[in-house]
Amino acid sequence: MRFLPALTRAAAVGVAAILGAATLTACGSDSAGSAADNPYGLLQPGVLRAGTLTDAPPNVYLKDGTFTGFDNDLLVAAADKLGLKVEFVGTDFSGLLAQVNNRKFDVGSSSITITEARKKTVDFGNGYDFGYFGLDVPAGSALRSFDELPGKRVVVVQGTVQDDYATGKGLDPVRVPDYNGAINQLKAGTADAWIAPAEIGEKTAADSGGKITVAAKELSPAPTAYAFAKGNDALREALNKALDEVIADGTWTRLQEQYYPGRPIPADFTPGSGEVTAPSASPSAAS
């Protein structure tokens, strides 16, 4: 009888080892299942959480409670190729790239121009659009070109490529957190000019009731692209492939016609990887 406790302890140890192995096996199965269910490392499997803006039409904006615009609609079409639903969340541009890299968002969608400085914070997908800088001024302003801006009170949205442009020209711009802030400065007469993405500037002028006009515009030096957290290669590469698919099937061209009717596409600009060809715009849309 004095050997029974030892045998009991041995049996208990054996049972524990078996249960432990079973537990490890089960955990391993769950981990493998999770990876299979979420191959792109999304914050929520099956859902692409995108940081965007609410006030920058026709590129990205909120309309009747729904996020839309060229960039966002294109992202929805590409995500659909991957079987993903897009969840948009509004934020300020000045914080967007850091929020993407900190994994608050899976992707940033906001006509983000690729620059070397921004590559230090995020990775970029393939370029999907080109853009122009627009020079918006109050109605009646004598300003007619970017060369006339030195010495003027120039407003820009903080952290944008327009901010970089103004700083590089030595203009010491007034920085505001969003597009509405820039628009309000022009309407109030507290700024002489706003350097804006041209399409947004043109829409702003058209909606201003004659208070704002577009004085000039010039081609931006780099394409726009979606932003991803550093090292999130699986998602970036998958969306690059999906972008090529929506370029090839005509979605990219259709959205160009919808949001930028009649806008000419620079001869040296090719969206996506360059391995697919976008169908031409219809004659009626380009007229």
What pLDDT digit, counting tens, does each position of 246-278 carry? 999 999 999 999 999 988 899 889 999 999 999
What type of residue is 216? A
CATH number for the domain including 68?
A: 3.40.190.10
Q: pTM of this prediction?
A: 0.77
Spell out, as residue ranges, where the chain has pLDDT lower than 50. 1-33, 285-287
Look at residue 134 and give its three-state secondary structure: strand
Residue 104 in domain: yes
CB contact at 8 A, 149 and 171 = yes
Q: Are residues 190 and 75 in the same domain?
A: no
Number of domains in the chain: 2
Q: Which residues contact 273 (CB under 8 A, 6 or more apart)?
A: 126, 240, 243, 244
Q: Of 203, 219, 235, which marks where a domain is finished? A: 219
Distance between CA atoms of residues 285 and 287, nearest Å:
6
Residue 202 in domain: yes
Q: At what angle do helices 179-188 and 198-206 cross, to 10 degrees?
A: 50
Instruction: State the residue range of the domain holding 90.
Output: 47-130+224-286
Residue 90 in domain: yes
Question: How much is the pLDDT for 220?
Answer: 86
